[in-house]
Amino acid sequence: MNEVKRWKLQCEGKEIVSILNAKKYNALYVDNLEQAKEKVLELIPKGSSIALGGSVTLNEMDLVNTFREGDYNFYDRYQDLPFPEIVEIMRQSMVADYLVTSTNAITRKGELVNMDCSGNRAAGMIFGPKKVIVIAGANKIVENLEEAEKRIKRVAIMNAKRINHKTPCVETGFCQDCSVPGRVCNYLSVVNNGGKFEGRFTVIVVGDEVGY
Ligand code: SF4
């Protein structure tokens, strides 16, 4: 990435960490995904049960393989299994010790905004897993909820393409507010404040362009 662009993302990432800490998340800043991964592994004790939210950011960190191969109880919904079995793993993962996820947008008011296909990530961020670790690039920072929704819709189209869902947007590149079975935009969630259960949320902000 262009150095000036990276510098600006670093500035924005550091600023949002202050905003998030004021909103009662445990937020911290890192420069890159390698450092983010080190922090995640520091935070999660061996033997913990772990759920992952679907995410390009987490894919870039290779966390599926790390948790498969490590000394963890990993709710592995990335196996090649029939969909009802995957849904069962998603249900069980609602009581994981840790949910590790990214987020679709962070507003400058300290809100975490997400759009889900199945709802497991949005639901788990709100309640269920004992702790939630969010990893997000500074490219996901937006001004407000309105901008977050616009960002999310743009990202949803790319996610539909990435996971090969049969949706109209994958044909055209634009949202048509579809009602097909593969629709990826089914559940919109907003976390307004991280303080309800003290220490539950850790947000690792990466001063770089990460994920969509
Ligand atoms: S509502 Fe349908 S068409 Fe629009 S972005 Fe979501 S999946 Fe694509």
Q: Which residues contact 4 (CB under 8 A, 6 or more apart)?
A: none
Q: Is the CB of 157 under 6 A from ligand 1?
A: yes
What 8-state DSSP symbol labels residue 128? S
Residue 155 Cβ inside 6 Å of ligand 1? The answer reads no
Neighbour count for residue 153 (Cβ, 10 Å): 16
Is the Cβ atom of 175 under 6 angstroms away from ligand 1? yes
Residue 166 CA to ligand 1 center (angstroms) comes to 10
pLDDT of the residue at 211 = 86
Residue 3's contacts (CB-CB under 8 Å, 6 or more residues apart) are none
pLDDT at residue 16 is higher than 90 = yes
Upper half-sphere CA count for residue 128 (Cβ side, 13 Å): 21
**DSSP letter assigned to residue 139:** G
CB 13 within 8 A of CB 205: yes
> Which residue lies with its CA nearest to atom 8 of ligand 1?
169
- Mean pLDDT, rounded, for 14-26: 98
Average pLDDT, the chain: 95
Atom 7 of ligand 1: nearest residue by CA position: 183
Is the confidence at residue 11, as pLDDT, over 90? yes
Confirm if 89 and 77 have CB atoms less than 8 A apart.
Answer: yes
Cα separation, 15 vs 200, whole angstroms: 21
CA 167 – ligand 1 centroid, Å: 6
* Percent of the chain scoring above 70 in pLDDT: 100
Structural domains of the chain in order of their starting residue, each with its CATH number: 3-143+187-206 (3.40.50.10420)
Mutate to test the pocket of ligand 1, among 118, 152, 164, 184 (most ligand atoms within 8 A of CB): 184
Phi, psi of 153 (to 5 degrees): -65, -40
Distance 152 CA to ligand 1 centre (A): 11
User: By the 8 A CB rule, do 155 and 179 touch?
Assistant: no
What pTM value is reported for the model?
Answer: 0.95
Going by pLDDT thresholds of 50, 70 and 90, the confidence category of residue 135 is very high
Hey, which of 104, 162, 175, 187 would you mutate to test ligand 1's pocket, going by the most ligand atoms within 8 Å of its Cβ? 175
Average pLDDT value for residue range 99-117: 96
Largest CA distance in the chain: 47
